[in-house]
Amino acid sequence: MSDAAPRQRLDKWLWQARFFKTRTLAARVVTGGHVRVNSNKVGKASHGVTVGDVLTFPQARRVRVVRVTALGERRGPASEAQGLYADLAPEEEHVPQSPGMRENGRPTKRDRRNLVSLRASRLED
């Protein structure tokens, strides 16, 4: 008999913790070499994770750093999935925007008008 801690496939855990929509997407990120377990790169989706492991991986436009706190039984609701990990990444600071800018960084119509008038005045000089 072995005293080894219970393990779960990395791709399955990432999917159950709701970091990826499908297990195939999770496996693709892992096999692409984009996931680190305890600061070691992992290339196999079948790599086993245990409670206490620290995972680092990209998700959307940010890098996630999480500690595995539990292994999942199933892919349940989001509230259940949040109990599987502790987020270690620092909170993202809100970047203040200029008054006329939208959240996606595009100028408003007023900003565009001001730019056009500014360019026109420079051409006259």
What does the alpha-carbon distance between residue 113 and residue 90 come to, in Å, rounded to a whole number?
Answer: 39
Task: Give the pLDDT of residue 108.
Answer: 85
Per-block mean pLDDT, blocks of 10 residues, the chain (125 long): 80 96 95 95 95 94 93 93 91 58 75 87 77
Task: Give the pLDDT of residue 1.
Answer: 46
For 84-122, the three-class secondary structure string (H helix, E strand, C coil) is HEEECCCCCCCCCCCCCECCCCCECHHHHHHHHHHHHHH
The answer on 124 and 104 residing in a single domain is yes
Domain of 78 in residue numbering reads as 1-93
How many domains does the chain divide into? Answer: 2
The answer on 72 and 55 residing in a single domain is yes
The CATH number given to whatever domain includes residue 16 is: 3.10.290.10
Task: Give the pLDDT of residue 26.
Answer: 95
Q: What is the pTM of this model?
A: 0.71
